[in-house]
Structure 1
Amino acid sequence: MRIGLLGTGPWAEKAHAPALQAHPDVTFTGVWGRRPEAAKEIADAFGTRPYDDVDALLADCDAVAVALPPDVQAPLAVRAAEAGKHLLLDKPVATTAEGARLVADAVERAGVASVVFFTMRFADVSADWLAGQTGQEGWLVGRADWLSPVFSDSGSPYAASPWRAEKGALWDVGPHVLSMLLPALGDVALDEVRAVAGPGDTVHLTLRHDGGALSSCTLSHTVPQAAAGVTVELRGAPGVAVVPERDGRGPVPPYGRAIDALLASARSGVPHPCDVRFGQRVTEILATAEARLGV
Structure 2
Amino acid sequence: MRIGLLGTGPWAQMAHAPALAAHGELDFVGVWGRRPDAAKELAGQHGVRAYDDVDALLADVDAVAVALPPRVQAELAVRAARAGRHLLLDKPLAATVAEARAVAEAAREARVASVVFFTARFQTEIAAWIEEQAATEGWFTARAQWLGSVFTTGDSPFAASAWRREKGALWDVGPHALSVLLPVLGDALRVSAAAHGPGDTVHLVLDHTDGASSTLTLSLTAPPAAAGAGVELRGSAGVTELPESPEGPVPPLLRAADALLRSAATGRPHPCDAAFGLRVTEILAEAEETLTTQLP
TM-score, length of structure 2 as denominator length: 0.97
The alignment partner of 1:98 has SS state of helix
Q: Secondary structure of the equivalent of 1:88? A: strand
- Provide the residue aligned with 1:21 in structure 2: 21
Report sequence identity in percent. Answer: 65
CA contact (8 A) 1:154 1:225 kept: no
Matches within 5 A, 1:233-244: 233-244=232-243
The offset of 1:46, in angstroms, is 1.1
Match of 1:268 among 263, 266, 269: 266
Residue 283 (str. 1) matches residue 273 (str. 2): no
SS in 1 for 2:187: coil
CA distance in 2, matches of 1:193, 1:61: 44
For 1:154 and 1:253, how far apart are their aligned partners in 2?
27
Q: Does residue 1:84 correspond to 2:81, yes or no?
A: no
Displacement after TM superposition at 1:261 (Å): 0.2
Looking at structure 1, the residues matched to 210 and 61 of structure 2 have their Cα atoms a distance apart, in angstroms, of 43
Q: 1:13 and 1:140 mapped to 2: Cα distance? A: 41
Task: State the AA in 2 paired with 1:125.
Answer: E
Shift of 1:227: 0.7
Q: Match for residue 109 of structure 1? A: 109
Contact kept? 1:147, 1:230, Cα under 8 Å: yes
What SS does structure 1 have at the residue aligned with 2:158? Answer: helix
Tell me, in whole angstroms, the C-alpha distance in 1 between the residues paired with 2:86 and 2:292: 39
Question: Could you tell me how far apart the structure 1 residues matched to 2:145 and 2:236 are?
Answer: 22
Structure 1 position 55 matched with structure 2 position 51: no
Amino acid at match of 1:48: V
> C-alpha distance in 2, partners of 1:184/1:140?
11
> Which residue identity does 1:47 align to in structure 2?
G
Counterpart residue identity of residue 63, structure 2: A
Name the counterpart of 2:168. 168
Q: Which blocks of at least 5 consecutive residues in structure 2 are unaligned?
A: none
- 2:248 counterpart (247, 250, 257): 250
Q: How does 1:1-295 map to 2 (within 5 A)?
A: 1-190=1-190, 192-247=191-246, 249-295=247-293
Partner of 1:283, secondary structure, is helix
Whole-angstrom CA distance in 1 between matches of 2:120 and 2:270: 15
The one-letter code sitting in structure 1 at the alignment partner of 2:109 is: R
* Matches of 2:196 and 2:154, distance apart in 1: 22
Deviations 1:177-236 (A, max 9, x none): 10000000000113x442111111000110000022000110001011111110011110
Q: Distance in 2 between matches of 1:139 and 1:97?
A: 29
* Structure 1 runs (4+) greater than 4 angstroms displaced: none
- Extract unaligned runs of 5+ from structure 1: none
Q: How many pairs does the alignment contain?
A: 293
The C-alpha deviation readout for 1:60-114, integer Å capped at 9, x for no partner, is 0000000000001001000000000000000011011111001100001000000
- More divergent stretch after superposition (175-184 vs 234-243): 234-243
- For 2:217 and 2:65, the matched residues in 1 are separated by 29
Secondary structure, counterpart of 2:188 in structure 1 = coil
- Separation in 1 of the partners of 2:212 and 2:65? 35
3-state SS of 1:115 partner: strand
Contact 1:195 1:294 in 2 (8 A): no
Secondary structure of 1:160's counterpart equals coil
What code does the residue aligned with 1:122 have?
F
Q: How far 1:135 moved relative to its partner? A: 2.3
Say what the alpha-carbon RMSD is for the aligned residues.
0.8
Q: How many angstroms does 1:54 deviate by?
A: 0.2
Distance 2:138 2:224 in 1: 35
- Counterpart CA distance in 1 for 2:194 and 2:231 is 18
